[in-house]
Chains A and B, each alone.
Chain A
Amino acid sequence: MSPSITVLYFAAASTATGLFEEVVELPASEPLPLSKLGTHLTSLHPKLDEILKTSQWSVNAEMVSDADSDMMLKGGEEVAVICPVSGG
């Protein structure tokens, strides 16, 4: 069974994909750099393209900063698309 991650969609990302969450198999069954995840998700959901431009990532419920942008996903992670927030 190939490794996969769970991707969570909120707000505009959820409206664009029609989903709240999705199990995504890592392409070619090998670790995927987080920096390439956006392109992969957009190939599955073209409407995500614009949204991802202004969104951040969280991995396992921790925000990913620019310093961690070379993070590798190995499978099993919970990744969320964090589009611009509007709480409070």
Chain B
Amino acid sequence: MANPAPSTSTAAREEWKGGICVLTYEPLDVETIMRSVSDDRAGATAIFIGTTRNSFQGKVVTRLEYQAYSKLAIKTIAESIRNAHNSVSPSAHHSAHHHVPSLISCAVHHRLGTVPVGEPSIVIAVSSPHRKEAFAACEQILEDVKEKAQIWKREYYEGEREEEAEWKANNC
């Protein structure tokens, strides 16, 4: 049974040309997220799916729970998408005369609440004319989200009391 969540850990969505960020309590649908970045100009779509692992340092994980300071987390994730658009540079073989975007669209969906083992907690999809930029942006966005997004994960282990479940930290 899921524990209560802060009232500020709400579902949220921000969408603009080139980016979509979603925080949701619903299961993540990879197909739908992939389709949301599709574009005729895209030659490549890179997808990252982060799933709940069943173990941590020898302990059996029974579930993860995520909560977010949603209004700030969604801004932070949107910023990481904008940074990717600005910083992932176009492939060398594009001539300077053609304006070809290096990225077309980026979608980041993060699940909140209980995420059972094996299910996705985050899905990132990036479309681009070329594979190099798609891979680079997907990884950069993931690392940014892990470092900065105001989202917290709690890990529950088999045989341990719920109240003692640890809040994890990404950079410790």
Contact = CB atoms under 8 A, between A and B. Distances in A.
- Chains A and B belong together in one complex: yes
Which secondary structure dominates chain A's binding surface?
mixed
B131 interface: no
Interface stretch (B25-33, B38-46, B61-69, B93-101): B61-69
11 contacts: A21-B6, A21-B8, A54-B169, A80-B8, A80-B72, A84-B170, A86-B151, A86-B153, A87-B151, A87-B153, A88-B146
A59 to B, nearest CB: 10
B25 to A, nearest CB: 15
A63 interface: yes
Contacts of A84: 169-172
A83 B152 CA distance: 9
Interface residues of B, number: 35
A85 B169 contact: yes
A32 B38 CA distance: 50
Interface residues of A, number: 22
Majority-rule SS of B interface residues: mixed
Interface string B128-156: 00000000000000100111111111100
Interface of A: 8-12, 14-15, 20-21, 54, 58, 61-63, 80, 82-88
Interface of B: 4-9, 50, 66-69, 71-73, 75, 110, 121-122, 142, 145-154, 167-172
The 9 A-B residue pairs with the shortest CB-CB distance, nearest first, are: A87-B151, A84-B169, A11-B152, A88-B146, A20-B6, A86-B168, A86-B153, A11-B167, A87-B149
Contacts of A62: 72
Contacts of A63: 72
